[in-house]
Structure 1
Amino acid sequence: MSDRPNIILIITDQQRFDTINALGAPWMKTPVLDRLAREGAAFTNCYVTSPVCVGSRASLFTGMYPHATGVFTNFHPWEPTWVKWLADTGYHCVNIGKMHINPYDAKGGFHQRFFMENKDRPLFLDEHPRALYDEWDKALHARKLEKPSRYTRYTADPEGYRNAHGAFPWHLDEDMHSDMFIGDHAVWWLKERKSEAPLFLQIGFPGPHPPYDPLPRYLDMYKDVDIPIPETTAEELAAQPPAHRTLRNNMIRNNYDSVSWKDKPTPEELLRIRRHYAANVTMIDDKVGEILKTLDQRGYLDNAIVIFTSDHGDALGDHGHIQKWTMYEGSVKVPLILWSKNHIAPRRNDSLVQWMDIAPTVLEAAGVEPPKSFEAKSLWPILKGEANAIRKEVWSELARDHIQTGAEYIVMRRDERWKFVYYLGEEHGELYDLEVDPGELRNLWTSSEHAHLKNMLVHEVLVWQLRAAIASRQQPTPKPQQAMLI
């Protein structure tokens, strides 16, 4: 057996930061993640570099911000970079589930991929340029089951579809639910594996991304649970940039991912959505427990690092929005837990980190030196107790796509106190004093009292962009280190 650690990277899709009981969400039922958070290192202020799947994931697997990778939307082609570096140094690299590479079936540096994409992805192979059959599609076909989607649901019950707002209890065989399918597939594969090479295993759960479709027995667990729901006022909506109104209207008109949104959802409707969402997270929590049990039985956890996280969050009604495409906390802030029997001590860290900081952290654990051009920063100084923080601010970027059509380019800068959101070429923007307004309810953009601060932060955005342009000119292939850094 190798002395290098097995690395297990578990990524959910669209999971908010406030979805783990042990990290401040008492309404959640997440015993497995609670244990990882208590026994491992939990980062409570982890921010993605983009509030969309592909832009965020491309940053993670290249160590660069979106404006350096050129990947802003879910349609931009990309492939991971540093997975191949692990493979070149002897790691057995395997992906099971969602990676959101473009094209979907690209190898991306992995030796093996058992890929699955969005739950609601269309299958019109002669009409949609990215449509293809993934592992889940094949399994459903083998069972002679029709894949649920916005098309089948609307056709079966148009009124029920519109009133569900994306929340549909799963009605087919339990093991054919996408998250159950991926969890079971990972357990099966681990039991079958015979290689002695160190393992890099990336498991991608499709949930709790909508449609919000938990198994009924998990939904029953939240039947009487009181989950906090937002209250959005007309004053708050009026203070938002026009791009927000455009985004809400697009979500109402086009019901992306089986979510038929509305302008003013009732408290009962919001609670129903959030209960379905929470139940989906609990379902994933169970599957993570089964995966960890199998890893332990097979001896992998004796020398392993397990990372649990998500690619971005979901508004779930916050600020009048659903899904992502904004820079609010519910959209850009995600859970991040690193756990190990012998490499990571229990700690909770509230400093600001970027999601892509996972990249150099994994590489250093594997004995691979990250390139100097990386904008991502290793978490090891915090994990080893050598530093309390590695960043003073975090950034996130978003460009115009087929859903966020109201702004050409949006960039967020957030430090410990201030969140600043700049809209290229527009007089509108967002500025929040998170010290007194953690809920981001009072937009100070037009406040004369904060005009100097706003101008200073615009300058910060310009400097950040220029520094990144210089840093990304060269990105050499790293060489393996001679010594472990953990």
Structure 2
Amino acid sequence: MKKPNLLVVFADQWSNTARGLHNPQIATPNMDRFAEEAFSTDQAVSGCPLCSPYRSELLTGRRAVHTGVIGNCMTGYDMCLSPDELCISQVLKESGYRTGYIGKWHLDSPELNSGSQPLSGAEGWDAYTPPGKKRHAFEYWHAYNAWNDHLHMHYWEESCEKIFTDLWSPVHETDKALEFMESRKKEPFALFLSWNPPHPPFEKIPEKYYDLYRDLEPDYSPNVEGDCFDNQTGEPGFKSREELDEAIRCYYAAVTGLDEQFGRIITWLKEKKLYDQTIVLLTADHGEHLGAHGYVGKHTWYEESINVPFLLRYPEKIPVGRNDISIETVDIFPTLLGLMDIAIPPSVEGRCLADWLICGKRPENEAVYSSAYISRDIFLEAYREKGLDPKRSGWRCIRTPEYKYVIEKGYLPEYIPRYLLFNRKADPYEINPLISHSPWEHTLMAQMHRRLIKHLEETGDFIKLE
């Protein structure tokens, strides 16, 4: 039997609830239709909700604290995915797949970190990643490192000469994805398509999508309060509800634009009779607050930041339907290989959920928390982007279907840690956490604390609390 193709499509800064299925103000007919034909879960999370750390976890199946990509690959901060890391693309190529990567990479160190006038013309956080080990066996390459002018983008392929386009980046990248699959449709292919929108700047969208939302009055969730909204990652926030309203209109417009591009891909697969022979995963690197808890952006433990779409279709093996299995980023690599009957490398730290998806068989030691949820402890983390040992800053989190427990160390050496416990069922908008300066003051908090600390000790990521 022919090997299944693999298509992984992931957007940047796209929250799970930003779909028509969850929010009637957003038009996503193609994604909603796909959800009816696929497996989906509302319990998928970004293990480290920031662009570069997520990508390192997705491609290696290893936690960010071990890949070393604990923050964004940015100017003034020498960080990149090591050429020696073993990525899923290398495993797939060795298994006979033609591999491709299109769109935002954001795993290379910006070229301005090593010289003021790179031959590629790369600016800001951008970089030309030349052929070789740093591409991790992606044969076809039409990508850039980090650049946000969605309406006037550039890419690199085999040379350092920029390839320019005035198409909205998801349209251009979808064109390239269709070209790639067309040229390789007679042999098994594995393509990763990384769309940058709805990442800011939100207003960089085609007029035809914005027109659909021009007069929209956004419906806010109960956890959107106040008139000033900060950003955790240093990007500009919003100083009024009017600014936030406009950002939401643009954000929804971008998601609708992505929906149209995804529809083009599904239509092509059906026309070429490849739809049932292709494992299709639609997901995102992290979410976006859009005003929730007084924030815009990502990089917090709140659901708006960590909870991402996860729609997976492979009718040969996976039954259709929604479920509440919890999936974290490091699980994606082994689960995909499990579905493809490819051996999982020992370097992978995530767990293969293929048997669970295929026949409902839980992985070994999987905990059953209630009749409604079959899940396990999910661990999340975030680090200060530069300067400090990651074990001494940021926050760490354990998430179950019922509860979420957070140790917040903060980003300053003198910051006194806080401990937060959320009841996810009773308080779904995470408005009223139990907050303490000692986890031992509350029995359940103490239990969650022990489980989180045990995980941190096992992974060498223990937070010092002096």
TM-score, normalization by structure 1: 0.76
Q: Is the 8 A contact 1:392 1:415 kept in 2?
A: yes
User: Which residue identity is paired with 1:381?
Assistant: D
Bigger mean CA offset, 326-335 vs 401-410:
401-410
Bigger mean CA offset, 295-304 vs 50-59:
295-304
Equivalent in the alignment of 2:433? 443
CA deviations over 1:105-126 (Å, ceiling 9, x no partner): 231221121113434379xxxx
* 1:428 to 1:181, Cα distance in 2 relative to 1, 3 A: same
**1:297 aligned to 271, 275, 282, which one?**
271
Separation (CA, whole Å) in 2 of partners of 1:353 and 1:73: 22
Question: SS at 1:419's partner residue?
Answer: strand
1:111 aligns with 2:87: no
Equivalent in the alignment of 2:240? 265
Within 5 A, what are the aligned runs for 1:272-351? 272-351=246-325
1:422 aligns with 2:397: no
* 1:321 to 1:404, Cα distance in 2 relative to 1, 3 A: farther
TM-score, normalization by structure 2: 0.79
1:454, CA displacement in angstroms?
Answer: 2.6
CA deviations over 1:350-370 (Å, ceiling 9, x no partner): 232213222112112332111
Separation (CA, whole Å) in 1 of partners of 2:382 and 2:147: 23
CA deviations over 1:153-198 (Å, ceiling 9, x no partner): xxxxxxxxxxxxxxxxxxxx5xx2112221122123333x146331
1:459, CA displacement in angstroms?
Answer: 2.1
1:412 aligns with 2:397: yes
Equivalent in the alignment of 2:5? 6
Separation (CA, whole Å) in 1 of partners of 2:428 and 2:389: 27
Separation (CA, whole Å) in 2 of partners of 1:110 and 1:450: 51
* 1:297 to 1:309, Cα distance in 2 relative to 1, 3 A: same
Equivalent in the alignment of 2:162? 138
User: Which residue identity is paired with 2:303?
Assistant: E
* 1:121 to 1:72, Cα distance in 2 relative to 1, 3 A: farther
CA deviations over 1:117-157 (Å, ceiling 9, x no partner): 434379xxxxxxxxx964799343xx7xxxxxxxxxxxxxx
1:229 aligns with 2:220: yes
Question: SS at 2:435's partner residue?
Answer: coil
Separation (CA, whole Å) in 2 of partners of 1:223 and 1:20: 18
CA deviations over 1:425-463 (Å, ceiling 9, x no partner): 733232211121111111311399963333333322221
Q: Is the 8 A contact 1:119 1:178 kept in 2?
A: no
CA deviations over 1:339-398 (Å, ceiling 9, x no partner): 134332211012322132221121123321113453312232332132478541211111
**1:218 aligned to 197, 205, 209, which one?**
209
Q: Is the 8 A contact 1:397 1:412 kept in 2?
A: yes
Unaligned runs of 5+ in 1: 123-131, 144-172, 238-244, 471-486
Separation (CA, whole Å) in 1 of partners of 2:334 and 2:232: 37
Separation (CA, whole Å) in 1 of partners of 2:388 and 2:279: 37
Separation (CA, whole Å) in 1 of partners of 2:69 and 2:198: 23
Q: Is the 8 A contact 2:148 2:196 kept in 1?
A: no
Equivalent in the alignment of 2:14? 15
* 1:197 to 1:223, Cα distance in 2 relative to 1, 3 A: same
Within 5 A, what are the aligned runs for 1:428-467? 428-446=418-436, 451-467=442-458
1:64, CA displacement in angstroms?
Answer: 1.8
1:248 aligns with 2:248: no
Bigger mean CA offset, 213-222 vs 291-300:
291-300
Within 5 A, what are the aligned runs for 1:371-390? 371-387=345-361
Separation (CA, whole Å) in 1 of partners of 2:15 and 2:188: 31
Equivalent in the alignment of 2:59? 61
Equivalent in the alignment of 2:113? none
Bigger mean CA offset, 298-307 vs 29-38:
298-307
User: Which residue identity is paired with 1:265?
Assistant: S
User: Which residue identity is paired with 1:463?
Assistant: K
Equivalent in the alignment of 2:380? 396
Separation (CA, whole Å) in 1 of partners of 2:376 and 2:319: 24
CA deviations over 1:189-237 (Å, ceiling 9, x no partner): 333x146331101111111111112211111112344432255457xx9
Separation (CA, whole Å) in 2 of partners of 1:342 and 1:101: 33
1:405, CA displacement in angstroms?
Answer: 12
Separation (CA, whole Å) in 2 of partners of 1:322 and 1:403: 24
Separation (CA, whole Å) in 1 of partners of 2:141 and 2:377: 35
Instruction: Tell me which protein shows more helix as a share of its residues.
Output: 1
Question: SS at 1:334's partner residue?
Answer: coil
* 1:419 to 1:250, Cα distance in 2 relative to 1, 3 A: closer
* 1:249 to 1:112, Cα distance in 2 relative to 1, 3 A: closer
1:9, CA displacement in angstroms?
Answer: 0.5
1:188 aligns with 2:179: yes
Separation (CA, whole Å) in 1 of partners of 2:190 and 2:30: 21
1:467, CA displacement in angstroms?
Answer: 2.5
Separation (CA, whole Å) in 1 of partners of 2:379 and 2:210: 35
**1:36 aligned to 34, 37, 50, which one?**
34
Within 5 A, what are the aligned runs for 1:73-112? 73-75=71-73, 76-78=79-81, 81-103=87-109, 104=127, 105=129, 106-112=134-140
How many residues matched?
407
CA deviations over 1:213-262 (Å, ceiling 9, x no partner): 2211111112344432255457xx9xxxxxxx9x93776xx6x3xxx323
Q: Percent identity, please.
A: 26
Question: SS at 2:32's partner residue?
Answer: helix
Q: Is the 8 A contact 2:418 2:437 kept in 1?
A: no
Question: SS at 2:44's partner residue?
Answer: strand
CA deviations over 1:318-355 (Å, ceiling 9, x no partner): 11111112111010110000013433221101232213
C-alpha RMSD over aligned residues: 3.2
1:265, CA displacement in angstroms?
Answer: 2.5
* 1:325 to 1:67, Cα distance in 2 relative to 1, 3 A: same
User: Which residue identity is paired with 1:419?
Assistant: K
Question: SS at 1:77's partner residue?
Answer: coil
Separation (CA, whole Å) in 2 of partners of 1:86 and 1:291: 22
